[in-house]
Amino acid sequence: MKKLNNFILHPYPSKTISLVLIAIIIFFIVPTKIALASPLINDPLDSLSLMDKLVKEFQNELSTLGLNIAKSNKTEATLDNLKSTQKIDPYFIQKVDLFYQDKDIENLKTLNLFSELGVKLSATISENSTFYLDYYLNYKYSSGETNLLENRLRQAYLKINFLNLDLLVGRDYMKWGPGYQRSLMLSDNSPAFDMLKYSGTIDLNDFGGNFSKANFTKFFSLLDPLEGQDRYFLGQRLEIKPRSNIIIGLSETAIISQDSSILFFNPLPFIPPYYATWLIANMFEPQEVNCNVGLDMEINLEQGVKLYGELMVDDFIFTSWINPFPNRTAFLVGAYFADPLGSGNTDFRIEYTHINNYVYFPTHSWQNYLHQGEYIGHPLGPDADRLYLGLTHCLSDRLNLSLSYNQERHGEGQVGIPMPSDPIIANENIFLSGIIEKQQAYQAEVSYTISPQWEFSAGVTWESIKNKDNNIGVDEKNTYLQMELNYQW
C-alpha cells in the first residue's frame, strides 16, 4: 500500500477500491458522466501530479467497470460510461377494416385484416453515438385476394456526432416541410432510404441582420432501379429563423444516374445548388438529371395559431417566348388553431394541396419521383388537389374524438404521364385534365388509451366517388368501418 500526502492508494487489484467505486456508481445510478472531485487537494502545485497518479492508478479498475477517464484537471476527473445503454421495445398492431358498398360488385372486398409484430431496438454506444433498429413481420388478409406475409427491416441506422455535425448512416425516413398530410418535396410516404445524411449549424452573425444561425441538412441516398437504370437520390436543405416565430426552409433534391458527373457528390450544402451543378457539368458532358426546388414557411402567431405553406418547382419556365411549355409546380397552404374555443381541449386544422399535371414525372421514366413504387413527395400525385378539414376534441385524459372532411379532385394525369411534346396540349392539360374524378369523405374516429401500453381506436368513413378512375358515369358510395389495437411493450 502506498501513501501520497492525504491519499491512500491500493495497488490493483483491490477489493476495497472496487467496492468504493461500485458504491459511487450506484449512488449516481450509473449516469453517462461522473465527476470525481477531491476536497483534500489544497496545494495547486502538487494537485496536478497527484491527480495524474490517481488516474493512472485507477485506470484498469475503472475499465473493468465500463468506465473511462474522459478528461481530468487539477482537482477533478470526468468518467465516461462505456457500457452501452440498450432499450428493446416489442410492439403489436392489429387492424380490421370492413367495407360496404351501395351496389353489388362481384369482386367487392368486404373484409381486410392487418397484423404486425415488430421490435424496436435502440442503444447508446457512447456519448456521441447511438444506434436504432426497427424490424417487423406483418400479415395482410383481404377477402377474395391472396394473403401476404411480409417481413422487412423498416429502419436501421447509426447516429454519430462528429466535428459538430450530426451524421447518420443507414436506413431512415425523411420529411421536409410543415405539411400535415405529407409534404410536397420530401415526405415519409415512401419506404425508408438507405443513405448517408449529415446536418449542422452555420453561424451567420458575420452577415449581419437577424439571421444569427442557419441549420443545414444534406444526404446521399440510393433508390430502387427503374427502366434498368441505377439511380441516386440527393438532397439538401437550409432552414433559417429571421424571427423567433418564423421558420423559412429552402430545399433541393436531384435524381441522377450512375453515369452522372461526380460534381453532384460535392459535400458542401448549396455550394453550388444542384441546378448550377447541372449547368457546370453540362459544359463537359451532357447530363440527364431531375432537379426539384422547394420553399416553405411556418409562422407561429399568438394564441396557438400556426400558418404554413410550401411551394415546389419541378420545372419553372421564366419566359414563355423562349420555352412555351407550362410550369410544373405544386403548392400547399394550411392553418392550425391549437385552442379556437378557449376550452383547452379542442384543435382545428385546414389544409389545401394543389399539384399540377406532369409533376413528379419528367421526360425520362427512370427519373420518376418514386421509390419502390411510392411517391417520394405527396401521395396525392399529379393533376390533383385536396381540401382537408380536421377537428380533434379531448373528451377526457384517455378518450379523444376526431372529425375530418376530405375533398379531392383528380384529372386524367393522376396516373403519372410525362409532358407531351406539343406545348399547346401541355398548357391545356396543366391542371385537372380530361374527365375529372371527384371524391368526398367524412370520417369520425374515437381513440382510447387503455393503459400506457395499450391503445384502441374505432372509426367510420363515408365516401362518395364520381367518375371513378376518370371513367364518366362510374360512381360509388362506400362505407368503411375501421378498428385498430396497438400494444407497445
- Cα atoms found within 13 Å of the Cα of residue 480, Cβ hemisphere only: 19
Cα–Cα dist 99/112, whole Å: 8
Instruction: Give whole-number Cα distances, 41 to 9, 35, 59, 71, 76, in Å.
Output: 15, 15, 20, 18, 10
CA-based nearest residue to 348, from 357, 356, 358, 338:
338
CA-based nearest residue to 234, from 215, 212, 261:
261
CA-based nearest residue to 307, from 343, 344, 243, 350:
350
pLDDT at 31: 39
- Say which residue, 161 or 144, is predicted with more confidence: 161
- What does pLDDT average to over the chain? 83
Q: What is the pTM of this model?
A: 0.80
Which residues of the chain form CATH 2.40.160.130? 85-488
| Contact (Cβ atoms closer than 8 angstroms) between residue 55 and residue 98 | no
**3 state SS of 215:** strand
Which residues are within 8 A (CB) of 374 and not within 5 positions of it... i.e. 6 or more apart?
189, 190, 191
pLDDT tens-digit profile of 322-370? 778 888 899 999 999 998 888 889 999 999 999 999 999 988 899 999 9
C-alpha cell at 20: 468504493
pLDDT tens-digit profile of 126-135? 889 999 999 9
pLDDT tens-digit profile of 408-444? 999 999 888 888 888 888 888 899 999 999 999 999 9
Domain 85-488 has CATH 2.40.160.130: yes
In single-letter form, the type of residue at position 311 comes to L
CA-based nearest residue to 4, from 48, 45, 54:
54
Query: Is the pLDDT score of 203 beyond 70?
Result: yes
| Contact (Cβ atoms closer than 8 angstroms) between residue 336 and residue 305 | yes
